Amino acid sequence: MRTGVWCEHAVQDGRVETGVRLSVDSAGIVAAVESGTRPRPGDLVLNGVVFPAASNAHSHAFHRVLRGRTHTGGADSFWSWRQGMYRAAAALTPELYEELATAAYAEMVTAGYTSVAEFHYVHHRPDGSPYPGHAMELALGRAARAAGIRLTLLDTCYLAGGFGKPLAENQLRFGDGSAGAWLDRLKDLRHTVESEFDPAYVTVGAALHSVRAVPEDALQAIASGLDPDLPLHVHLSEQPAENQDCLAATGLTPAQLLHRYGLLGPRLTAVHATHLTPEDVALLGTAGATVAMCPSTEADLADGIGPAAALADAGARIALGSDQHAVVDPWLEMRALEYGERLASGVRGRFTPADLHRAASDAGAAAQGRRAPGFAPGRSCDLMAMDPGTARTAGAGPAQLALAATAQDVAAVVVGGVLAAERGRHLHLGDPGPLLASAAANLDAAAAVPATGREGRL
């Protein structure tokens, strides 16, 4: 373990400092910070402009195989995309999932992400029978360990196919039968993960897939039975149809339903939160919840533009996730958050560059229950160094790179004070491209789906 990391220029909270040296302890935590210094022998030297690394607040690793495969035109919608997602989920095995997730996480690391909240619901065999020993979950843990990314595995409760509907055949592998059975499995999973992995890198949190997938009686049982220290995530109001169905079934919006059962609070991360009423915005803000917005996915799926600035003004914390990985690029997610607000409001500067970095880094880490990355004592020494001289970044102010740079400009990524990636290559796994291509081909073969042609692919 290196004891020092030296940054040519460091940016946090909009401030640019030169010659910043971080003393790093054996756990990869920043112990002390000096400015205006030169590197010492043995230091890891990061040239360019260095920022806290990105914390991915929402991921479905297996969705990565859908990139570039769901755009057939005509009748495309969120719901047609969902059928492709089910076909991909049906083909997964622990071995295939570990291969695909390793590649997806390696792509994240090269792009500047050093932690990820994995919203995981592919628990069992396709017929719903359990794998022995949490095989799918441990496959994700091994994938994260291989890629060197910090993983918060959000084990997800998924009990219904909609309000008043049982799980469909293609959803059986997601379900545990009851809230009690899910809570029991979650408890055992936590013990297993604690015995297998370093908690600085792999931990377990909890998620509710959505209010349409977790009936009211289950919400009540989970509210009383879930460890209050666990991070809790939920897909919320992503589609108008979800809101309409919830109102028809309960007389409440999804946010109001969660509030009824005491599930709104600082530990909650509401994912998407695109179609909210003013009352919903106030509830989430007053609760101090985090809202994980996924702008590239929300654009790809035509979800809409969520009320990010209104939520922030109300007191919610805004985080960013790559979700289905149509794009794996925290810089584009930052830019899309601000651009969405500009398009919706007609006003520039709704989020400052410093706000965007806090959403991409600190808020995502908080949603995972993790230390924030950055340059202050007590933070994780998780950093991304940017090249200020590319065709995209040349001439840009260092503190304004959030509105100019992309993941192509990431020169180096550091996890726990140790170099993990340089210029698009993972130090241990190499170029993620061939890894992703191999994983997609193997999943295609398992699904008996042609590897070429637009029709019928995953």
Per annotation, catalytic residue among 9, 63, 235, 272: 272
Cα 114 to Cα 356: distance, rounded to the nearest angstrom: 17
For the record, the structure tokens of 111 come out as: 């792009």
Residues β-bridged to residue 412: 385, 422
β-pairing, 4-12 vs 44-52, is parallel
β-pairing, 425-426 vs 4-12, is unpaired
Q: Write 240-247 long-range contacts (CB < 8 A, 24+).
A: 240/275, 242/210, 242/211, 242/212, 242/275, 243/275, 245/162, 245/163, 245/212, 246/163, 246/211, 246/212
Torsion sign across C-alpha atoms 441, 446, 447, 452: positive
Angle at 193 between CA 212 and CA 429, to 5 degrees: 95
Per annotation, catalytic residue among 300, 323, 362, 382: 323
Cα 194 to Cα 191: distance, rounded to the nearest angstrom: 5
- Confirm if 313 and 285 have CB atoms less than 8 A apart: yes
Catalytic-residue membership of 272: yes
Cα 102 to Cα 106: distance, rounded to the nearest angstrom: 6
- Confirm if 440 and 449 have CB atoms less than 8 A apart: no
Residues forming the active site:
272, 323
